[in-house]
Structure 1
């Protein structure tokens, strides 16, 4: 259920891209680009310590922090067309799965994965029959 409130400031918002801390940019690029299929569209630093990744409508910002410690909470939520296909792809590529694929009562087929640094990403697909299976 989406709640719409009138804007107290009248400013329209554009994209919102989560920023993730990672210990090793190159290892993270292998995961996000090599496994998940993102493309690097920007990098900064020498050596590189910040990158912007894009795939379709999704955007992700990675910042290298050698002391990064992952949260026990999900840090991003990614909506996809087919959660089952992505889940199978991830398991084939030995991606760490935190929560297995399931059809949730709130109308999503979903699972949670962890990147090489332990950052948890919640993956969801809207089910055509909320509260049931596809």
Structure 2
């Protein structure tokens, strides 16, 4: 859990708002209106599907941070036909995190 905590706080800018256990087995991280709950699970196996989806105000900026920090990118940053700029990365535990930014509606009436 220490590696995940370090990743979400140092790289993604979340702050710890709650911890429980000794050693810590559960924690809550918060950034703006987003909240992430981390649980210790020694036998954790990463899923092959996205386990978290986050909307952000600037997907390109977060993508650049991920690249700079050596985060494993699973799907590169692209503008989707459903109105989002999106990418998928893996956190240190291999969890797939889907990032999206809502784009302005450019359809003509």
TM-score (norm 2): 0.95
Tell me which of 63, 82, 89 is aligned to 2:58: 82
Task: Give the greater-gyration-radius structure (CA).
Answer: 1
Displacement of 1:129 in angstroms is: 3.3
Does structure 2 conserve the Cα–Cα contact (< 8 Å) formed by 1:108 and 1:130?
no
Structure 2 distance, partners of 1:32, 1:106, is: 28
Structure holding more strand per residue: 2
4+ long deviations beyond 4 Å: none
- State the number of aligned residues: 107
Match of 1:38 among 14, 22, 28: 14
Shift of 1:130: 5.1
Q: TM-score, normalised by structure 1?
A: 0.78
Q: Hey, what does 1:129 align to over in structure 2?
A: 105
5+ long unaligned stretches in structure 1:
1-24
Equivalent residue for 2:39? Answer: 63
1:76, 1:47 → 2: CA distance? 25
Q: Work out which of the residue numbers 57, 70, 93 in structure 2 matches 1:117.
A: 93
CA RMSD in angstroms, aligned pairs only:
1.0
Answering whether residue 32 of structure 2 is matched by residue 51 of structure 1, we say no
